[in-house]
Chains A and B, each alone.
Chain A
């Protein structure tokens, strides 16, 4: 790691020095401290810290005097004044004398962190930025693909749109990886140093969704015991990702539209609009144009989010990716479960490529996890998958055929022990015999 920014706390109160030392060390600063003005100036010469946090009221040399001496001898050093409420006027004098800023004790952790971070950015070296970028690049989610095919086009679109501030709508069936694409857009955008704020808008009641999105003030409704910041506010300087946007009720669509237009949010029960700056990414498995036509989705809101669309192909349309994805998940689950499984039998690979994967990548992932649990050897066999044989044809999709297949499977698992099979199926033996007769199932 590159040399961290050096910070010195100057205060006559030892407890305060040590607590701030702890706090800023966790931030990764190199922290020094001094119990008074004279000691501070001596340390300044020796250690050359870039930022000084100086208490204004100290016995002997006070903070203002320290400030003036520092300005004379080391003008490139940043001085932040710490003060109690009683001496705010003196603090304002300090600003006139060249202090960077002042902060009132006891500090809000958020305020002091921000302030010092802002000051430190002036000293952050190029190499440190490089380290930050490397960390973020290492954390980028991986979109697994064999290369080429429809996913290559998706990645092209991601790279096109990520550097801009354009709103993106990601569409595709459930389980195709829409959240992954949203993460990728964020981590390749200039906002990657900011937050990625995610809300899954499906499955939340209207009131809870409002509170999630916009936050609320203390006492806004019964049970709102304290202020809560919403996901929109928390997305400031980053990306807001609204998953299942097609499930947002019309009233909340109106509120979201207003936030997008005015670029500010008001907490529920509050009256103070808070400016917010975020990039919007949305996703849905629904056909929003159908939803608009059906009157469930507002057209004005639709136009606002339907700017740049990335459509994710279902897994059955990217067959070349299936073996690569399967191998990736196999590696992950085998490691997690401490198993040595090298790969797939040819029949297992064939079964996977033939299967239509209605639940897409998520279903594939679950199938591999299950197969790793069942597998006793070092190769995954076709029999480790819940689907075996060719993809079901329309005729085999009927409830009756599913029932027949299930009964056959249970019977063979139980060695055609009727009593056991009936218990497993939670039906009585007579019913099971009747069903066997109906489907023409004979005991071997």
Chain B
């Protein structure tokens, strides 16, 4: 499946490139573009976060064989939950992912490497949902549920054999 990465201005070009170059098979890089949709109206002043459902609706539905993922810097919530890393239309071909919670809280020689790893894992994760995958019991599979950013570190930016078998190959 081909991947179109949309991104907002607060995501560094380097991170967009890292996400793109780290795509796991059967996902293949398609194109990366600045996001045109505006989601300012989905800002919740009281929570100082954006409503993930509203933001998700600004991502256009992709053509067959493609997946659309929006990378953004803003922190996200859904009404019932304190935060989410991302949100996807299950099997709907589109999703969003926030970089803000993936950033390690401290600066040291590991921080950048950790962030890029988390980014790649969660990009695979949201794209997996968008392609129809649900959570997986294999603990280092990208589709394993991560409740904490620190548990993203234990996963691979790849799909396990069972998840991979459920995904269509790139055309």
Which chain A residues have a beta carbon within 8 Å of chain B's beta carbons?
A: 13, 15-16, 18-20, 22-23, 25-28, 82, 105-110, 112-114, 132, 134-136, 138-139, 192-198, 204-205, 207-208, 211-212, 215-216, 218, 221, 223-231, 233-234, 238
| Contact indicator B87/A196 (Cβ below 8 Å) | no
What are 10 residue pairs bridging A and B, where the CB atoms are less than 8 Å apart in the complex? Answer: A23-B84, A109-B81, A135-B137, A139-B138, A139-B140, A195-B139, A205-B109, A211-B106, A223-B106, A231-B153
| Contact indicator A139/B160 (Cβ below 8 Å) | yes
Number of A-B contacts (CB under 8 A): 129
Bound CA–CA A224/B105 (angstroms) = 6
Which of these binds chain A: B7-15, B64-72, B142-150? B142-150
Taking a contact as CB atoms closer than 8 A, the residue among B84, B134, B139 that contacts A27 in the complex is: B134
Among A18, A27, A110, A205, chain B packs the most CB atoms within 10 A around the CB of: A110
With both beta carbons as reference points, the residue of chain B lying nearest to A132 in the complex is identified as B137
| Contact indicator A106/B81 (Cβ below 8 Å) | yes
- B82 CB within 8 Å of chain A: yes
| Contact indicator A136/B137 (Cβ below 8 Å) | yes
Contact residues in A for B43 (Cβ distance below 8 Å): none
With both beta carbons as reference points, the residue of chain A lying nearest to B109 in the complex is identified as A208
Knowing that A195-B154, A215-B150, A234-B151 are A-B contacts, what are 14 other residue pairs whose CB atoms are under 8 Å apart, sorted by A's residue number?
Answer: A19-B52, A23-B78, A26-B134, A26-B135, A27-B145, A135-B136, A192-B139, A195-B151, A205-B109, A221-B106, A223-B106, A228-B106, A234-B150, A234-B154
Given known contacts A227-B105, A228-B104, is B110 in contact with A204 (CB within 8 Å)?
yes
| Contact indicator B77/A106 (Cβ below 8 Å) | yes
Contact residues in A for B162 (Cβ distance below 8 Å): 134-135, 138-139
Bound CA–CA A113/B146 (angstroms) = 10
With both beta carbons as reference points, the residue of chain B lying nearest to A208 in the complex is identified as B108
| Contact indicator B81/A238 (Cβ below 8 Å) | no
Taking a contact as CB atoms closer than 8 A, the residue among B78, B82, B137 that contacts A22 in the complex is: B78
Contact residues in B for A110 (Cβ distance below 8 Å): 147-148
Bound CA–CA A136/B53 (angstroms) = 33
Contact residues in B for A192 (Cβ distance below 8 Å): 139
| Contact indicator A139/B141 (Cβ below 8 Å) | yes
| Contact indicator B80/A107 (Cβ below 8 Å) | yes
Interface residues of B in 82-99 (CB under 8 A from A): 82-84, 87-88, 90
With both beta carbons as reference points, the residue of chain B lying nearest to A233 in the complex is identified as B150
| Contact indicator B151/A109 (Cβ below 8 Å) | no
Contact residues in A for B52 (Cβ distance below 8 Å): 19
| Contact indicator A22/B90 (Cβ below 8 Å) | yes
| Contact indicator A228/B105 (Cβ below 8 Å) | yes
Contact residues in B for A224 (Cβ distance below 8 Å): 105-106
Contact residues in B for A212 (Cβ distance below 8 Å): 110
Given known contacts A27-B134, A27-B135, A208-B108, is B79 in contact with A22 (CB within 8 Å)?
no
Bound CA–CA A208/B109 (angstroms) = 8
Chain A: minimal CB distance from B2 (Å): 18
Interface residues of B in 114-156 (CB under 8 A from A): 129, 134-141, 145, 147-148, 150-151, 153-154
Given known contacts A113-B147, A138-B160, is B105 in contact with A225 (CB within 8 Å)?
yes
Chain B: minimal CB distance from A199 (Å): 10
| Contact indicator B106/A28 (Cβ below 8 Å) | no
With both beta carbons as reference points, the residue of chain B lying nearest to A4 in the complex is identified as B134
Contact residues in A for B84 (Cβ distance below 8 Å): 23, 109
Bound CA–CA A12/B135 (angstroms) = 28
Taking a contact as CB atoms closer than 8 A, the residue among A16, A208, A226 that contacts B110 in the complex is: A208
Using an 8 Å CB-CB cutoff, how does the interface string of B4-44 with A read, 1 for contact, 0 for none?
00000000000000000000000000000000000000000
Contact residues in A for B83 (Cβ distance below 8 Å): 109
Chain B: minimal CB distance from A16 (Å): 5
Bound CA–CA A198/B117 (angstroms) = 14
- B63 CB within 8 Å of chain A: no
Given known contacts A109-B84, A138-B162, is B79 in contact with A196 (CB within 8 Å)?
no
Chain A: minimal CB distance from B83 (Å): 7
Bound CA–CA A181/B148 (angstroms) = 27
| Contact indicator A16/B79 (Cβ below 8 Å) | yes
Contact residues in B for A20 (Cβ distance below 8 Å): 80
Given known contacts A25-B134, A108-B82, A138-B162, is B150 in contact with A223 (CB within 8 Å)?
no
Contact residues in A for B137 (Cβ distance below 8 Å): 132, 135-136, 193
| Contact indicator B147/A228 (Cβ below 8 Å) | no
Chain B: minimal CB distance from A30 (Å): 11
Chain B: minimal CB distance from A76 (Å): 25
With both beta carbons as reference points, the residue of chain B lying nearest to A11 in the complex is identified as B80
Contact residues in B for A226 (Cβ distance below 8 Å): 105
| Contact indicator B148/A19 (Cβ below 8 Å) | no
Chain B: minimal CB distance from A334 (Å): 15
Given known contacts A28-B135, A229-B150, is B106 in contact with A16 (CB within 8 Å)?
no
Contact residues in B for A108 (Cβ distance below 8 Å): 81-82
Taking a contact as CB atoms closer than 8 A, the residue among B82, B106, B109 that contacts A216 in the complex is: B106
Bound CA–CA A20/B129 (angstroms) = 15
| Contact indicator B108/A109 (Cβ below 8 Å) | no
Bound CA–CA A238/B90 (angstroms) = 29
Chain A: minimal CB distance from B147 (Å): 4
Contact residues in B for A23 (Cβ distance below 8 Å): 78, 80-81, 84
